[in-house]
Amino acid sequence: MAKTGYSATLIAPAKLNLSLTVLGKRPDGFHDLVSLVAFADLHDVLSVTLAETAVDQLTVAGPFAGSLDRDNLILKAVSAVRDAIKAVPPLSITLHKTIPVAAGLGGGSADAAAILRLLARQHGLAAMAPPIQEIAAGLGADIPVCLQSRCRYMRGTGTTLDPEQSGFARYPALLVNPGAAVPTGAVFKTLAAKKKAATDTSVPHGLTEEILAGRNDLEAPAVAVAPEIGPVLRTLSGLPGALGARLSGSGATCFTLFKTDSARDQAAELFRQTYPAYWMHAGALRNWDPDSLFPETPAFSG
């Protein structure tokens, strides 16, 4: 459990799009989609205390601190809660940035969701309370699904959430990012999938089949924008014990799943021999319990 008051350590888990189907472009220029989202044991850590100044303070550390925009979703989330619910004192926040930035892993959304969970708790609200979901949706399409960090489908522009998927199990996973720049706008411009009716949101597979055999409609356009993704996907899918390979979101992080930790670890060693310079995380997908998102002590990964 977190400490009382605004002194807390917060976990912000990375999200993965296990599947992503683009249904069509909306009149407002956004796209309707349906995506099965899960969360990894990879995470950022936020340390929060009361600020000694009259304004919020954000300090960033960790392996990906240098690539982060200081006009950050965390501070926007604090301001949004302050505007909607009031009574939020100035906060001093240290972000230990372990999730790669602009990588299809929702790191910025996860960070914003983490601070929203804390502020919701401070005001006696559940993380999924309608006022918090409304604030989250106004800040970014991936933030609502990150509030609980549990496997579920998101729909529409990403802000419509299905109930949590029952039966989701832990999956050993290998995540790889080649460091390619993949602008989301360029990926959608390249998207050549057929436009479907926006009401066609049916999912043809069961949960296990969707996890292991689903598709990402943004994968082919992302490879067209950043060709170095293609060899990564092919190498991952050919590793011993790999259960396919897929892109998360619009990339550039690719992932594959395994039946056992030992199979994942052996595959990670083989992959590293081919691509020693690429970022890699050998971990697992999991559902996060509410209390595990508020640890008593910092839990830095990476």
The residue assigned the tokens 């926007």 is 76
Whether the CB-CB separation of 12 and 143 falls below 8 Å is answered with no
Q: In Å, what is the CA distance from 10 to each residue of 76, 126, 282, 290?
A: 17, 16, 22, 11
Name every residue whose Cβ is closer than 8 Å to that of residue 156 and which is 6 or more positions away in sequence.
32, 33
Active site residues: 15, 142
Count of CB atoms situated within 10 Å of the CB of 79: 13
- The number of C-alpha atoms within 13 Å of 65 and in the hemisphere containing its C-beta is 12
Count of CB atoms situated within 10 Å of the CB of 241: 15
The rounded distance, in Å, linking the Cα atoms of 113 and 105 is 13
The rounded distance, in Å, linking the Cα atoms of 117 and 106 is 16
The rounded distance, in Å, linking the Cα atoms of 143 and 239 is 33
DSSP 52-79: SSSS-EEEEESTTGGGS-SS-HHHHHHH
